[in-house]
């Protein structure tokens, strides 16, 4: 039960980070002194949530993913690991860096109006890459599921 909870925390933190980045994006479209505080809070939330997603996902990957990887690679969807998981492993670091940078840029908004374009770009990229990560994770999950279904069907 605890393993499944850990596994569900990874995408949950990721989705919440995406929503925080979307919040930053929308608030920054109409930035003024009244919503600058919300932009700062949401940007910090995005960074913290993305780091939590990374730490929980990394914990799962190191301790448990080896068995899943073997299962996926022996099943009918080995590309779920060879393409989607490998892509996630590499692209996620760019996403983590952008989420870490977002508060730095957001805290510069009031002093530097040109920072608005940077915040919009970074927040928009976090949303797009984050959604791509969620989709890739769905392929990895489905790769494990179809492998298990194949094993169950062969055992009947």
Tell me the mean pLDDT in the region 127-134: 97
Q: What is the mean pLDDT of residues 71-84?
A: 97
Contact 105, 119 (CB under 8 A): yes
- Which tokens go with 101? 């940078």
Residues in CB range of 110: below 8 A, 6 or more apart? 33, 36
Mean pLDDT of 55-82: 95
Is residue 97 within 8 Å of residue 46, measured between CB atoms? no
8-29: burial string, b at 16+ Cβ within 10 Å, e else: ebbbebbbbbbbbbbbbbebbe
Beta strands of 63-155 (E only): which ranges? none
Rg (Cα) of the chain, in Å, rounded?
18
* DSSP assignment letter at 75: S
Q: Which residue has the tokens 């960074």?
A: 47
**Dihedral sign for Cα atoms in the order 1, 59, 81, 121:** positive
Per-residue pLDDT reduced to its tens digit, 7-53:
899 999 999 999 999 999 999 999 988 899 999 999 999 999 999 99
């Amino acid at each position: 039960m605890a393993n499944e909870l850990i596994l569900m925390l990874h995408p949950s933190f990721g989705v919440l980070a995406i929503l925080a980045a979307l919040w930053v994006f929308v608030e920054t479209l109409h930035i003024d002194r009244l919503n600058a505080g919300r932009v700062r809070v949401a940007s910090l939330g995005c960074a913290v949530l993305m780091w939590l997603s990374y730490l929980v996902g990394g914990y799962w990957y190191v301790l448990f993913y080896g068995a899943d990887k073997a299962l996926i690679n022996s099943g009918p969807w080995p590309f779920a690991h060879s393409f989607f998981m490998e892509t996630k492993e590499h692209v996620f670091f760019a996403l983590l860096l952008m989420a870490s940078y977002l508060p730095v840029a957001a805290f510069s908004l009031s002093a530097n109006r040109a920072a608005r374009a940077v915040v919009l770009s970074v927040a928009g990229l976090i949303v797009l890459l984050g959604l791509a990560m969620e989709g890739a994770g769905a392929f990895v999950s489905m790769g494990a599921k179809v492998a298990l279904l194949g094993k169950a069907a062969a055992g009947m």
